Chains A and B, each alone.
Chain A
């Protein structure tokens, strides 16, 4: 029964996961917390690990949740397969009609309107996910907020360059390193080690 609900949950995540990594993480979070497969803190730890290990973040997260929820490698197999299955069905359909597909499909007005609605939905979803992860267990004291602020600031450096109409800043090597998620995670881990141990 656990395996079946894992399969259904991750199939849903694969099917509704528009917009890449963070959208998929938010959907997984929603399923995981709803079913009580793990706590907010455990989930955040998994996202942290998924971020600094090789491979697609959604896949890392799915594999990890599958193992933790069942305590068995088969749980991972089920979640990884379930998250990829909708992609297989949809992408193979697209491939089959690819040559007949109008090369200007992305300029279609209806298509653009639908994608815009989906994007709005995805943003709301991720915002909600971020909000629910701010708990006393994940933000233990003021230092947590300092790390949060610093990482957010660094991540938004390329955006700031665009707002200030200085796109060349975003290409600057220092800015690119400073706004790289993996680099920031390593830095945050080091900061945690120095502050709390």
Chain B
């Protein structure tokens, strides 16, 4: 059971691009629809709690589901599964990025990315301001 929880979250953590919100439909698919570990209503409650509490939404939801299904051991399984891919992939990139940075083509790509990042943050401001 613990292994399955860990494996499920590892899969979700590895294959979701775009952060915590992108993880939610996958969690729903795996945990609610396929494995029936919690029901739909509890899943909705979980999202509300994970958003209301501070911290990463993906991690908050992993803690809730892990705890509901298998207590603190479940929490260890889901949280490790959710964050392990992040840590491994980012460390690999961080180690090599310093060398890559000096290549002209890489610098050109990042010159395009930087204003786009600021635009993403600005868009988040406008979206959130509308929902106050």
Contact = CB atoms under 8 A, between A and B. Distances in A.
Interface of A: 14-22, 24-26, 41, 44-45, 47-60, 63-64, 67-68, 73, 76, 80, 83-84, 86-88, 90-92, 94-95, 103, 106, 115-116, 119-120, 122-123, 126-127, 129-130, 133-134, 138-140, 144-145, 147-152, 155-156, 159, 180-182, 184-185, 187-193, 195-197
B90 A63 contact: yes
Contact of A92 (B21, B63, B85, B108): B63
B105 A88 contact: no
Given A47-B117, A51-B18, A52-B17, A192 B110 contact: yes
A76 B91 contact: yes
B118 A138 contact: yes
Contacts of B127: 156, 159
A58 B56 contact: yes
Contact of A48 (B50, B53, B110, B122): B110
A126 B131 CA distance: 14
A181 B16 CA distance: 12
A88 B79 contact: yes
B3 interface: no
Contacts of B107: 196
Interface of B: 13-21, 23, 45, 48-60, 63-64, 67-68, 72, 75, 79, 82-83, 85-87, 89-91, 93-95, 97, 104-105, 107-132
Contacts of B124: 21-22, 126
A50 B107 CA distance: 17
A76 B57 contact: no
Contacts of B48: 106
Contact of B120 (A24, A51, A54): A51
A64 B94 contact: yes
